[in-house]
Chain A
Amino acid sequence: EAQVTQNPRYLITVTGKKLTVTCSQNMNHEYMSWYRQDPGLGLRQIYYSMNVEVTDKGDVPEGYKVSRKEKRNFPLILESPSPNQTSLYFCASSLGLPRSTDTQYFGPGTRLTVL
């Protein structure tokens, strides 16, 4: 089954404790991205990657890191999480750049709480 998987689905952590949220897709997609979704603010892009070893900042990259060492994986790293990073995070992938004809597939989400 074609899908985007994220782990963990739920995470409660404390300020400053490094964490990684994994994202994997099995569709051989080149384009992957991370979003955060907050009430009243909608979905905002954190980082995106157009291919292996190619990443770029989205709208809200501060406090986050990403890597793309393999085509299928795109982990999101929070080196020193803070309470304002409490949010619902989504990973997404598409065959290519989000052009007119490319469908973007979203993962199930990771709900992160930073105390």
Chain B
Amino acid sequence: TQLLEQSPQFLSIQEGENLTVYCNSSSVFSSLQWYRQEPGEGPVLLVTVVTGGEVKKLKRLTFQFGDARKDSSLHITAAQPGDTGLYLCAGVSLSGGSNYKLTFGKGTLLTVNP
């Protein structure tokens, strides 16, 4: 069974601070996705990283896929209260031939205080 470990589990910071969330595994993934989930809603895809070493930027959010495609990080610059939410990473891997499987980490609950 492939596992994705996310850290930290909880993070409470002040507006304007920077933060990094980590997603680690001993398994190799075809790609890795990051989602954000707000209370009472389903997860929403933020980004997919595909190539080892790839870096993608989405405004103040920077996503990186590890060279070996086993880990990823999400860095937020100058966090704002609107960034508050549960951040989930999910690894895409081949399962049983041609089937693809999505394995989720347990999430990082981020609170940005004004």
**Residue ranges of A at the interface with B (Cβ–Cβ < 8 Å):** 4, 35, 40-45, 50, 56, 59, 90, 92, 97-101, 103-109
Contacts and interface: CB of A to CB of B under 8 A. Distances in A.
B48 A90 contact: no
B42 to A, nearest CB: 3
Contact of A98 (B44, B50, B102): B102
A53 B81 CA distance: 44
A17 B44 CA distance: 32
A42 B23 CA distance: 13
Contacts of A100: 30-31, 48, 50, 92
Contacts of B92: 98-100
Contact of B41 (A40, A97, A109): A109
A101 B92 CA distance: 11
